[in-house]
Amino acid sequence: MKILLSIPFLIFMPLVISILLLSPLFTNNEIIVRRFSKSIFTFHFLYSILMLACFSQANPYVSEIHFLGMDWVQSLGIKFVFKIDSVSMILSVLTSFVFLLSSIASKYNIRKNHKFYYAMLFLLMSAILGIFTSADMFLFFLFWELELIPAYFLISNWGEDGAKKAGIKFVLFTFFGSMIMLLGILLLHYYNFVSNGILSASFSDIMVSSLPGYIQNIIAICILIGFGVKLPIIPLHTWLPDAHTSAVTPVSMILAGILLKTGAYGIYRFNYLTLEDSFKVIAPVLAVFAIVNIIYTAFVAYAQKDIKRIVAYSSISNMGLILLGLCAYNSLGLSASVFHMVAHALITCGLFMVAGIVFLRCKTRNIDEICGIASNMPRLFGFATLIVLASVGIPLFAPFVSEILTMLGALNSDLSDVIKYIGVFSLPLLILSSCYMFKFLHNSFTGNLPDDFEKINDISVHEFIILAAVLFGLIIFGLYPNTLLNMVVGG
């Protein structure tokens, strides 16, 4: 059993498949490549579910890989060590799920270079799983950098006009952030060595309590800037709308559903767990940034005409909520935050899927030009309505639970009164998000159907499966939130 459920298999299986697909020996046949990839994704999802089922709070999975009988880079104390605790377990399964959905969605959206596309998907998946499971700072950083290459190709190669530029913007922004983060990591590594005498970069070996406070704060801020680009926190967010809009639908699903969560996970892993003391100092300031994220981007989203841009800005808004949950610094806030990561991933997948379906049929995403398609696409209308209702936080769906719990967590925070006030002020999110979401729904689905759109068809089986899966997830977690919450809180 232990051999079967190994983390390296979880992470490196996609990597191996990616290399297999890149090699010239593999067939170029589009259908074979697609079905092969889809079956691998399915297998990976089932495998991760199996791991989740066997997972227990008491003993998280840990595995260490040795090269020729020793650590990876002994002289720097870098180990090839992976660890899955409850949060990373949840996020790993989520990753697997979102990739499965996006591979299903790829059928209608990808028209060229199938082999390369799926290879890049697998590579990205491997990198992201690596981020979620690595238990060593430099290993984390390695995967963090590695993720840029497939992400760039996925954004720019299959996107529409301007995707190249958006891809470069994404890479440069993230690289900027990760370089500042590297500074933080290097300092943490060095000062940990100086004060504790252990040359190691593993999270478990880092004890910051003996470090001087100002150095902890410097390190924490450096690392936060790195994750702030990915999350994104407001002044660093400008890459996101471009990248999400110009990427092709399945890639947008991955970007919004998983890639943003790596930033949140990083803050959890580095700042929340490792640099606790300085996090307590920074949390109130961070909460202010979170509320700016929530309110400001909601207004910006309301002003947008492009469906995908609306969804992209709503993602930033929701990431603010996740950040707020972390800032509360109590178990309620944390579990709400993780729960919202899952819920938000499902919602953005659904919304980007809807946007992609509309774009595929109507060749435009401008909500002023699209109207009345509900009469031709009743099933899509039904799904879209339900997902939009879920996203604005109607009871019965998962986001309701997480939004309420985040606010409760913020109100119960012991750190500072600022966080409590912000917890109160984050309530308008529900109203604001319903404003822009219903605007989108109302403008594009209702009204008279113009002649151009007479011939559009309703959703196909593939699209139906994706939307149904998303909705199923949202309802399940809305009805039984405890399954997830207990898992997080226990840890």
Partner 1 sequence: MINDIFNILLPQMILALFIVVQLILSMVLSPRYFRYARLVSIVGIFLSILFLTTVQVEPQYFGFHNSIMSDSYTLLFDFVILVCGFFVALLTRNLVKTIKRNAYTFHAILLSAIFGAMNVVSANDFLTLFISVELLSFSTYFLIASSKGYYSKEASFKYLLTSTISSGVFLFGVSYLYGITGSINFSTIYEYIVNQESSILYSISAIMIVLGLISKLAVFPFANWIIDVYKGTESSILAFLSTVPKLAMFGIVCRLLVFPLGNSFELTFALALSTLVTAFWANTYAIRENNVKIILACSTAANCSYALLAASLVSVYNLSTVIFYLICYVFMNLSVFAFLNIYGDKNSQDVNSFKGLFHKNHGVVGAYAISILALAGFPITSGFISKIYLFTAIANSGLIFVPFLLILLLLTVYALFYYLKILLPLFAKFSKNDNGIEIKYVFSQKFVLIVTTVITVIIGIYPEKFIELCRFIAYNI
**Which residue ranges make up the site for partner 1 (CB under 8 A)?**
24, 67-68, 70-76, 138, 141-143, 145-146, 148-149, 153, 157, 164, 168, 171-172, 175-176, 179-180, 182-183, 186-187, 189-190, 215, 218
Give min distance, CB of 176 to partner 1, in A: 5
Amino acid at the residue 156: S
Q: Are 213 and 278 in contact (CB under 8 A)?
A: yes
CA atoms within 13 A on the CB side of 485: 17
- Length, in residues, of the chain: 491
Give min distance, CB of 68 to partner 1, in A: 8
**Measured from the CB atom, is 215 or 456 closer to partner 1?**
215
**Measured from the CB atom, is 80 or 445 closer to partner 1?**
80
**Measured from the CB atom, is 183 or 469 closer to partner 1?**
183
**Measured from the CB atom, is 190 or 299 closer to partner 1?**
190
Give min distance, CB of 159 to partner 1, in A: 13
- Return d(Cα 261, Cα 129) in angstroms, integer: 12
Give min distance, CB of 220 to partner 1, in A: 14
**Measured from the CB atom, is 80 or 400 closer to partner 1?**
80
Give min distance, CB of 308 to partner 1, in A: 23
**Measured from the CB atom, is 141 or 339 closer to partner 1?**
141
**Measured from the CB atom, is 278 or 315 closer to partner 1?**
278
**Measured from the CB atom, is 161 or 417 closer to partner 1?**
161
**Measured from the CB atom, is 76 or 411 closer to partner 1?**
76
- Return d(Cα 77, Cα 49) in angstroms, integer: 33
Among 93, 326, 330, 98, CA closest to 231: 326
Give min distance, CB of 18 to partner 1, in A: 12
- Return d(Cα 312, Cα 439) in angstroms, integer: 15
Give min distance, CB of 75 to partner 1, in A: 5
Give min distance, CB of 145 to partner 1, in A: 5
**Measured from the CB atom, is 19 or 49 closer to partner 1?**
19
Give min distance, CB of 180 to partner 1, in A: 7
Give min distance, CB of 141 to partner 1, in A: 8
